[in-house]
Every structure is written in C-alpha cells, then in structure tokens.
C-alpha cells in the first residue's frame, strides 16, 4: 500500500471506495451467507486501513462505510419518527378451526375460480424494526413503537453486522426508496452467555432473548449495542419507490438479492393441510432451535389481492399468526394477593415460586376473578401447572397437587384494599367504585395516559406514577400539568436535569392528536380505531363531549350498546369535571377535519357468484368511489352484483326488489363515477 503520509486525496478516495466494496462483500459472505472467504486477521487489516484513510481524510467517511458499525456518541434520548408505512400486529390463533375459517374468508374474498397461494414463514420472537434505504443507503432505523411511529435507533442498528449499510446491486438495482421490516434477535446460546456475564458482574439478568434484543437496540450509547451479538432477519417490504412486485415471494427474493438475511424455511402452500404440515415441522424442531419462535405466519402471496382485502386498524385481514401451544411448567403458589387496576377492577394474583417458562422467569400470574378462583379451586400452597398464554401472559392452568392440610379457599375482599371503599359486584368481577378517590386507580390512569398509545410521555412510567401519587404531588390527572421541577428534585431519583426533562415532556403534550387524547382519557370501548373514527367524524373534543348516542351511532362500527357506554362515561358529572380540569390546564387536542355528515354514500353493494376478477378487487373498486360493501342482502342493500352461479343472494335480491347488475354493468357504473376496475 502507498504510505499514508504521501497519499494524495484522489488516490485515497479510490482506495477507500475499493476497501468499502471489499469489506461489504466479506461481511455479507460471513454474516449473511455464513461462507467466509478470508480470515478474521485479513478482514481486520482491511478494516484498519479504511479507518486510517477516513481519519486522515474525514470527508471520505460515508453513512454506508463499514467503519460506522463501531458506534456513535451517546444520545440523551431517542427521537420519535413516523413509519414509512404502518407496522401492524397480526391476528393470531392456536385453533385449527379458526385457521380453517381464515382460509375460508380468503377464498370467499377472492371469489370462485381464484385459488389462494400462501407464503408460510416462522414467527420470530424478537424486536421488530423498520429499516429505510434511500438510493440504496441505510438512512433510518425505527423501532415498532405504537405501529404508526417509533424511536429512531439508526446508530444502534448500524452496529449489527448482518445489516447492509448499503444495498447489494449485483443482481438487482437499488430502488429510490426502500422500507423493510425485520426482527432483531439474540440467539439463545448468546443470551445465556450474556446473562451469565451480567450476573458475574453483579447486574440483573434479562428475562428472555426477546427482552435482551429489545433492550439492546434501545441503548442510548450505541457502543453498548455494538458489544452485544445481535442478528437481524428481514421478512417484509413496507414501502418501495422506483420498483414493484406482484407477489410477496418476489419481494422476498428481492430482499435476498439486496443483501438482507431472511428467516429460515420460508415456503409457499395452497391448503390448510400444507400449513398444518409446516406448523408441525417447526413445532417438532422448536426446542432444538437457537432462536425463539412462537408460531408461524401465513400470508396471502398475491399483493394486489392483499390490497383489495385490506387491513383493520390493528392487523391485516390477509395474514394470520398460527401460534404453538404454550410451554408449561410446574411451580407452587406461595401467596394470593389482590391488585386494583385503573378502572377499579380488583384482580386476584398468584405469587409463585419463580420458574422459567419458555426462557422467561415467571413469579406472578393473574387469577382473573373470583369465579376463576372457584372453578379451578386455587389455594395458597398448591402445586400448579402454569403457562404463558401466547408465550407472553403467565396464567395458572390447573392444580396438580396440594398439601394434606390444605389452605382455606381464598376470599375476595369486601372493601378496596387501597382506599377501604366497599366493593361492588359486576358479574364475576368485583370493583372499587371510588374512581376519583382511590390512589391505585389514579396511578393506573396516569400510567395509561402516559403510555405510547395515548399521550406517550417519555419518562413517566410505573415508578414515577407511584411516586407522584404516594407523595401527594398529584391527586388528579389534571394536576400532572401543574408539576414543577422544584417539586420533583426533592425526591430520590430526580436531579435538576431529569426533573426538568419530565416536566418538559408533560408540557410538550398539551397539543395532542385528538384520537390519542381520547385514548388517554380511558373512555370505555374507545380503542385506536374508535378514537380515530370519533375524531374524523366530529372534528373536535367539544363536539364529541356534546354528542348524543344517536349521533354516535351514525359512525360505522358504533352500535347502540357501544354508544350507550361512551355517552354514559362522558355524561357522568365526575368524568366531565376531570376532563374539563385537564382542558383548563391549556391542553388543546388537535382537531381533525370532520367527515361529511351528509353521507349518502354511492350505495351499498353485495357481490355474489364467480366474477372475472377477485371479489376483493371488485369491492375495493366500489369503495374507492365512495361506496359501501356488505356480505348479505337486506332491504338496505342498493344493488347486488352477480357473477356466474349466483345463488341464494340473487334470489333474496329478487324477492326484496333490490337492483341486480351483471359484472359489465357494474364496471360501467364505477367508470361513470370516476373510478376504474382492473378488468383482465
């Protein structure tokens, strides 16, 4: 090599480019293909030479340089950024019958004559992440967060050796923009060694490989992340510009070509039997794997059909997670306690001898309610079988042994254990009615208000909420916005900077999005989808607070029972007083644009029989011009589109004198309204 001191800039640039190309190639061969071509010593020599060139010519350093994997300066906090496309959860089941119903729904959606092809893959149990590449270079990595936005952890993700800092383009051109979804994992063997090192150093071990992976990618110092052995497997394209695919299979192949590591044993299937065979194979091999999986994922392969079938606010309708049966272990109930939640429900909880279930140490499990206690006859001192439902939530399955002199049956309290208010019975549950005077409920409401799905207040977790309530700093949700740094610094765990940061985080949420504010209030029946619908329809918190049950029922998905529950909450004098107090602190939810309340839609259509295109595509075309679709014919149906072999729905439409259109007439109707139908 030319001597560093005499190397001119152009020569240094050419050598640096060559070294980067060579190091990218060898990193992919080693970490992705597990096929090393050079020794570690030779790789280190090349790396050090590149680092030397970049140190002497800083302008040569680029985002995609292998030297950027070593870690960056520590951050004070992570920036929250929006995802390129939503990162949805998956609907899941362990029931074969539910799997068959999923397959039936897909087949009905596609219509007669259109057989589905599924992509089947393992459901990895790690930390979900979005990677964004612009012109082939990694520019952003974001945790899943609430599915709409997450924390930018780019510096940490760069340290993972299997993550391409620049897309490989030998076999496929890099798109202008590419967003992919993957899972950061820590292998079980590394997790065990990592925990052993933590314990030896006097630290607290992580509960599971998943927790260790999630904790590692959220380290403020990326050098800490770099010190841990992590891997990243990519399995989905979230967004792409400058290219496109017709199937998920094509997308996975492109992911491989661009240099990503993908999960093992991805394959295609056409029937439920194909899926069951794949599931059984992985279940049999599960205990021998060096990584955690909790089931398999079934996804429709055809991307245009996916688009037509659509998604809910929570999960895609064209995919399903088919979970494994929970892992079970045996332990002992040391004690039964009760816990008061934010809604006042008092829940019995089993305190257990700690036991490891599927890699996670379990020491507590909810017993749900007094009826569950009686049905399973659970008592202190019993030896029980426990499992983690969905490999997540600990639950007691059954009693398998008990002492000869068995403890007396546990009795639920007649008074709230926190505020001593007489409890009320609601079916199998008991509840503390002292909503605004019970400190346990207030603490739970603060935690909920600060959660990611609500106001997302950084630094306001369980410990801080407990401190605020027990020390009397907060006696209502509204008083959160009155806290000052001077109050907080008097307590252990708060210095001037951390106290100021928490107060700043709270004050920064005085202009929340209206849907998040509605969720933060803890209104019964109001989750993400309903909050978004309320916001879009009414446009302001004032309009929502003044809405009648009849007005609420104008929104799709809100029926009489739901509207009654929502209005009862909003009309309750104590609830309204609490909401008004929050608004009086200067909290102003950001208003949405109200929907057109004068909807008569383009009409409600029902599709039946074998159509020339998948039924989901026809339905999507009608919704695109403002129409609604339904699965059954009624007097409210505006017209029925019939294909070949149309049966009972056509007959019912004729009886009810509903307009009947053939497919050609339907296409003409859509086109006349400014839409289009993708006709083969």
Question: Which CATH number do you get for residue 365?
Answer: 2.40.50.140
Same domain, 123 and 271: yes
In a domain, 466, yes or no: yes
How many helices and strands (H and E) does the chain possess? 24, 22
Same domain, 145 and 247: yes
What does R_g of the chain's alpha carbons equal in angstroms? 29
Same domain, 112 and 218: yes
Which of residues 272, 306, 323 is at a domain's end?
323
Same domain, 211 and 357: no
pLDDT of residue 72: 57
Same domain, 628 and 643: yes
Distance CA 517, CA 538 (A): 14
Distance CA 638, CA 64 (A): 57
For residue 643, give the CATH number of its domain: 3.40.50.10190
pLDDT of residue 4: 45
123 is catalytic: yes
Q: How many domains does the chain have?
A: 6
Structure tokens at 522: 């803890």
Same domain, 460 and 564: no
In a domain, 502, yes or no: yes
pLDDT of residue 74: 61
Same domain, 209 and 149: yes
Same domain, 107 and 204: yes
Give the residues of the chain that fall short of pLDDT 70: 1-7, 30-35, 40, 69-76, 313, 359, 389-392, 556-557, 592-602, 631, 680
In a domain, 76, yes or no: no
- Which residue range(s) make up the domain with 479? 439-507
Distance CA 299, CA 275 (A): 11
pLDDT tens, position by position, 10-50 = 887 888 888 878 887 777 776 666 667 777 677 778 877 88
Same domain, 531 and 502: no
Same domain, 174 and 272: yes
For residue 237, give the CATH number of its domain: 3.30.470.30
Which of residues 267, 292, 323 is at a domain's end?
323
Question: What are the contacts of 199-207 at 24+ separation with CB within 8 A?
Answer: 207/359, 207/360, 207/361
For residue 460, give the CATH number of its domain: 1.10.150.20
Which of residues 404, 429, 453 is at a domain's end?
404
In a domain, 69, yes or no: no
Residue by residue, what is the 3-state secondary structure of 474-510? CCCCHHHHHCCHHHHCCCCCCCHHHHHHHHHHHHCCC
In a domain, 477, yes or no: yes
pLDDT of residue 1: 44
Specify whether the CB–CB gap between 176 and 241 falls below 8 A.
yes
Same domain, 616 and 500: no
Same domain, 153 and 269: yes
pLDDT of residue 31: 60
In a domain, 68, yes or no: no
Instruction: From the candidates 48, 79, 108, 123, give the one annotated as an active-site residue.
Output: 123
- Interstrand relation of 177-185 and 127-134 (parallel, antiparallel or unpaired): antiparallel
- Interstrand relation of 639-642 and 604-608 (parallel, antiparallel or unpaired): parallel
In a domain, 631, yes or no: yes
């Amino acid at each position: 090599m030319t001597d560093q001191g005499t190397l001119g800039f152009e020569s240094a640039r050419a050598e640096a480019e060559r070294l980067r190309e060579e190091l990218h190639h060898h990193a992919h061969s080693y970490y992705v293909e597990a096929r090393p071509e050079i020794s570690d010593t030779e790789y280190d020599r090349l790396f050090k030479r590149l680092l030397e060139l970049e140190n002497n010519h800083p302008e040569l350093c680029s985002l995609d340089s292998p030297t950027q994997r070593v870690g960056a300066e520590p951050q004070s906090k992570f920036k929250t950024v929006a995802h390129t496309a939503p990162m949805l959860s998956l609907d899941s089941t362990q029931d074969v019958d539910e799997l068959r119903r999923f397959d039936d729904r897909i087949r009905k959606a596609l219509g007669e004559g259109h057989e589905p092809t599924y992509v089947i893959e393992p459901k990895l149990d790690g930390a979900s992440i979005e990677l964004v590449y612009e012109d082939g270079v990694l520019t952003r990595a974001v945790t899943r967060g609430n599915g709409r936005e997450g924390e930018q952890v780019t510096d940490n993700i760069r340290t993972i050796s299997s993550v391409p800092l620049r897309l490989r383009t030998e076999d496929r051109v890099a798109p202008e923009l590419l967003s992919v979804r993957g899972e950061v994992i820590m292998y079980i063997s590394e997790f065990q060694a990592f925990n052993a090192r933590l314990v030896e150093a006097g630290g607290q071990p992580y509960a599971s490989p998943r927790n260790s992976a999630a904790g590692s990618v959220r380290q403020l110092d990326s050098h800490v992340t770099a010190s841990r052995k992590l891997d990243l497997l990519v399995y989905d394209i979230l967004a792409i510009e400058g290219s496109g695919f017709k199937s998920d299979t094509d997308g996975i192949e492109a992911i491989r070509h661009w240099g990503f590591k993908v999960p093992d044993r991805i394959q295609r299937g056409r029937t439920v039997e194909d899926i069951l065979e794949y599931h059984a194979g992985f279940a049999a091999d599960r205990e021998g794997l060096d990584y955690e999986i909790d089931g398999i994922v079934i996804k429709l392969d055809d991307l245009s059909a996916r688009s037509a079938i659509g998604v809910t606010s929570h999960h895609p309708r064209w995919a399903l997670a088919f979970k494994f049966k929970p892992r079970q272990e045996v332990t002992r109930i040391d004690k039964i306690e009760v816990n008061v939640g934010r809604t006042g429900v008092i829940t019995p909880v089993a305190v257990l001898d700690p036991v490891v279930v599927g890699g996670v140490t379990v020491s507590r499990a909810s017993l749900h309610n007094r009826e569950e206690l009686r049905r399973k006859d659970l008592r202190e001192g019993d030896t029980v079988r426990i499992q983690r439902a969905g490999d997540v939530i600990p639950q007691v399955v059954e009693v398998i042994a008990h002492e000869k002199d068995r403890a007396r049956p546990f009795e639920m309290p007649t008074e709230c254990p926190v505020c001593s208010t007489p409890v009320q019975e609601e079916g199998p549950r008991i509840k503390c009615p002292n909503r605004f005077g019970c400190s346990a409920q207030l603490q739970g409401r603060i935690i909920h208000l600060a959660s990611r799905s609500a106001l997302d207040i950084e630094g306001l977790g369980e410990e801080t909420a407990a401190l605020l309530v027990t020390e009397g700093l907060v006696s209502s949700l509204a008083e959160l916005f009155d806290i000052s740094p001077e109050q907080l610094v008097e307590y252990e765990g708060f210095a001037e900077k951390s106290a100021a940061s928490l107060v700043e985080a709270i004050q920064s949420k005085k202009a929340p999005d209206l849907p998040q504010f509605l969720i933060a209030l803890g209104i019964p029946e109001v989750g993400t989808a309903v909050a978004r619908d309320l916001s879009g329809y009414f446009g302001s918190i004032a309009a929502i607070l003044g809405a009648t049950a009849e007005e609420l029922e104008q929104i799709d998905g809100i029926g009489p029972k739901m509207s009654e529950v929502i209005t009862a909450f909003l009309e309750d004098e104590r609830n309204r007083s609490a909401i008004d107090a929050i608004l009086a602190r200067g909290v102003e939810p950001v208003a949405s644009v109200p929907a057109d309340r004068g909807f008569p839609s383009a009409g409600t259509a029902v599709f039946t029989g074998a159509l020339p295109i998948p039924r989901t595509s026809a339905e999507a075309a009608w919704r695109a011009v403002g129409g609604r679709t339904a699965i059954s014919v009624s007097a409210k149906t505006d017209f029925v589109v019939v294909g070949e072999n149309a049966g009972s729905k056509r007959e019912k439409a004729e009886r009810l004198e509903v307009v009947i259109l053939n497919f050609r007439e339907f296409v003409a109707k859509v086109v006349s309204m400014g839409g289009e139908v993708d006709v083969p």
